[in-house]
Chain A
Amino acid sequence: MKLEDFQIELKPLPGAMPVWHGRVDARQWRTACQQVRDKGGRLVALWGSDNSDRGGGFAVHAALTVQSGLLVIELPFSGGSFPDISDIFPAANRMQRAVRDLFGVGAENAADQRKWLRHTAWPADVFPLRKDASFEFPVSSSKLELNPEAQLATRNSRLETGQTDDYPFVRVEGEGVHEIPVGPVHAGTIEPGHFRFSIVGEGVLRLEERLGYKHKGIEKRFEQMTLAEGAKLAGRVSGDSTVAYAWAYAMAVESAAGMTPPPRALWLRALLLERERVANHLGDLGFLGNDAALGFGLAQFLRLKEDWLRMNAALFGHRYLMDTIAPGGVARDVTPEGMAIMRRDMGAMEGTVALLKGVYDEHAGLQDRFIGCGRIKPDHADRLGLTGLAGRASAVAWDLRAQFPPVPYGEFEVRMATHRNGDVAARVTVRFEEIFESLRLLRLILDRLPLGELASAVPTPPAGALGIGWVEGWRGEVLIALETGPNNGIRRLHPHDPSWQNWPLLERAVLGNIVPDFPLINKSFNLSYSGHDL
C-alpha cells in the first residue's frame, strides 16, 4: 500500500520509526481501513481521545501497517459514535468497546455492543477518560478498620452489597453441554481474568474471556504526570515487557520533541531489549515443559533464567531492567569488564539451551502434548490479526526488527523466526530460535557498541505535539501513542499491548482441544493481562 494511494493529507512524524499521521472524515476512516486490509495490512491499535475542553468533540485514532511504515489516522467527530471497523479488522471489536467504556462514545452498529473494560467499580454515567470526568470516589469502597474483630463483623454485610459484574456471556445450549467458570483468581501464580468454558465431556465447544479485572487507571494516571515522570509508569504497564514499553515511551517523547538520542544509548537499548527477550523466552520454555509434566525442564530453564537475571542485576542494577531507559537516552552504561563477563556467560548459556532443545525435541511425551495442540492455522491468523511471537508461529511474517529496523537493528539483518504449524510446538520452536538469534544480536552489539554519551537533553515539546513509539517486544509489537500537554505534561497517552490482538485468538486456539490442555495452550501464548486491562 503506497501512501499516495490514500486520499488523505499525510504528514510524517519525526522520530526513529516511519510514521505518517493524518485526519480523516467518517467515509475516509472506513475506506482507509479497507484499503490497508486489502493489501494485507493490519490494525496495530485503536484508541479514543476527548477534545471537548478545547472546543472539539471526541476523536478515534487507528494505527495501521502499510508498506512504508505505520499509518496513524485520526477521526474527529461531534456525535456520539464513529463508524465500526470490526468487520474489516476483527481485532477492533474489543478496542472499540473499550473506547465506549472509557469515553462514552462507541462504534455505530457494531455487532458486539457489550461492555469490555468496564465492570461495576465506577458509576454507569461516568466515563473516566473524559476531560471533565470529575467524580468523588471513596479511598476504598470499604476501607477496613485496623481491628480485625471489627472487620470480621462487617465483612459479610459488605460482600452482600458488593455489586457483581453482570456480563452477558454467550451461552452454548444442548444436551450434555455444561459450563466451567474459571477465575478471576486462578489456580496458579498468574494474573487475574475470567474464562468461561462451554464443554461436552472434556472437549471444549467454546471459550469466552472476560478481562478488565486489572484495570487500574493507567491512562488517566499518565495525564497527571510530566513526560519525565511517565517513563517510570510506562515501565510498569506490563512488568515482563518493561524494556519494550520504556523504549516505546522514550521513542514517543523523542518523536514529539523532535530529538534523537546519542548512538550509544540506542545500541544499549537494543542490548537491554534482547536481554529481556531471552529472559522471558527462557522462563516460558521452562513452564511449557512443566505444563506438559516435564519438571526437569522447569528446573533447568529457571536456573538459566536466574543466572541471566543475576547478570542483569550485577550489570544494570535491576533484575528485570526496570528504569534503565528514559527519554533522551539510557540510565546505565556497561564497562568493558561487564561486556567480557556478558560474552562469557552467553557462551555457556547457549550450549546449555542447545542441549535442552535436544532433550525437548526428542522427548516423546513432551512432543505428544505439543504437536497439534492449540492450533491457529495461517489463514485464521491472517484474517483475525494474530501478531507477535504467536503470529510468527502461524506464518504471520512480521517482526519490526526485520521490517522497519530502528537503530541499531538495521546493521544486523535480523533473521525472523517463522513457522506454519501454529500449534504449541511451533510456538516453542519460535522461542528457541529467537533465543539463539537474540544471542547472535547481543554478540554483534557487544562487538560494535559505539562510544559516546549515554543521553542527550530532551527539549520541551510544544503542547499538542504527537509522538509514536513502536517497538518489537518479546511478545510482539508494543505501541505508545502520545499527545503532549503544556509544560512538559501529558495530554493523552495510549499504551498498546499485542495481547489485545492475540487474546481473541486464544479463544479460537482451544476449540476442539480438551480442558486439561488449556493451561499448556494458554502458556504457549503467555499473554499480558495488565498490559491489556490498563
Chain B
Amino acid sequence: MYHLLKQIIVTGIKTEAPPQPDETLRVTAERLRAEILDYFAGALTIRHVDAGSCNGCELEIHMCNNPYYNLEGLGIKFVASPRHADMLLVTGPVSRHMEVALKRTYDATPDPKLVVAIGDCGCTGGIFGESYASCGRVSNVIPVDVAVPGCPPTPLAIMQGILTAISRKA
C-alpha cells in the first residue's frame, strides 16, 4: 500500500488543457437547440459503437480517458447502454453485418441525441470503401452531426469532435 500511495503522489496530476471546438468538423447544421446543448456541455454521456473498424480508433478512444486527456474531468463519460446516452461515438466503415445493430442502437438512444463519426473510415468508408460486406461511411446508415478524420484520429482530435458537437455555433 505504501508503494501504491507513494506512486500516486510522485506521479502527480498529468492532465493537460482540452482542445477547442472546430466548426470545420461539422457535417450537418446544428439540429439541437442551444438550451439543450448547454445541458449537454455540463454532463454528456456517450455510447461508443464499433460498427466495423480495424480497432485502431478504439485504442485512441480508450486513451481519451488516460490521465493526460482526462475526458471524464470535463463531465463527459462513457456509458454501458445507448438508453443512457446523449451521444453515439461511431467508428469504422459500417459493415453490413453491423448495419441493423447500429440502427437499433441509434433508435434506442433517446432524443435529443448527437452522433459523432470517428476516423477516416467513419468519415468516408476509408480504405475498405463500399462493397458486398461494407456500407462505407457512417452517414450512409444513420445521421451524423460531426465527423472526425484521422487514421486513427488522436485523442485530442476525438475530444475536439465531441466538444464541437456540443458547442454552440460561434
Contact = CB atoms under 8 A, between A and B. Distances in A.
B99 interface: yes
Interface string B115-140: 00000000000111111111110011
B141 A140 contact: yes
Contacts of A184: 98, 101
A165 B107 CA distance: 19
16 contacts: A128-B132, A144-B139, A158-B103, A159-B104, A162-B103, A164-B100, A188-B78, A190-B50, A191-B58, A192-B52, A213-B52, A217-B133, A220-B132, A356-B7, A359-B3, A533-B95
B133 A121 contact: yes
A217 B134 contact: yes
A152 to B, nearest CB: 9
Contacts of A239: 53-59, 152
A141 interface: yes
B140 A358 contact: no
Contacts of A309: 63
Interface stretch (A29-37, A64-72, A295-303, A434-442): A295-303
Interface of B: 3-4, 7-8, 11, 14, 28, 31, 48-63, 65-68, 78, 80-82, 92-101, 103-105, 107, 126-136, 139-143, 151-152, 154
Contacts of A283: 59, 62
A305 interface: yes
A322 B131 contact: no
Contacts of A528: 55
Contact of B101 (A143, A188, A213): A213
Contacts of A121: 95-97, 99, 132-133
Given A121-B97, A529-B55, A296 B8 contact: yes
Contact of B151 (A303, A306, A322): A322
Interface in A503-534: 528-530, 533
B141 A144 contact: yes
Smallest CB-CB A-B distances: 5 pairs = A239-B56, A121-B96, A217-B133, A187-B80, A302-B66
A301 B87 CA distance: 28
B29 to A, nearest CB: 10
Contact of A216 (B7, B55, B58, B93): B93
* Interface range on chain A (Cβ under 8 Å from partner): 35 or more
A140 B128 CA distance: 14
A238 interface: yes
A11 interface: no
B67 A320 contact: no
Interface string A284-314: 0000000000001001101101100100000
Interface string A159-178: 10010110000000000000
Contact of A303 (B49, B50, B67): B67
Given A191-B53, A216-B134, A239-B58, 5 more contacts: A144-B140, A216-B95, A220-B132, A240-B56, A303-B11
Nearest to B46: A189
A196 interface: no
B155 to A, nearest CB: 8
B133 A122 contact: yes
A305 B104 CA distance: 35
B52 A303 contact: no
Nearest to A122: B132
A377 interface: no
A307 to B, nearest CB: 9
A236 interface: yes
Interface in A171-217: 184-185, 187-192, 212-217
B14 A303 contact: yes
Nearest to A217: B133
A302 B101 contact: no
Contact of B54 (A119, A142, A189, A530): A530
Nearest to B119: A239
Contact of A213 (B67, B97, B129, B154): B97
A214 B99 CA distance: 10
B92 to A, nearest CB: 8
Contact of A189 (B48, B82, B135, B141): B48
B97 A214 contact: yes
Contact of B7 (A139, A141, A355): A355
Nearest to A237: B54
B1 to A, nearest CB: 9
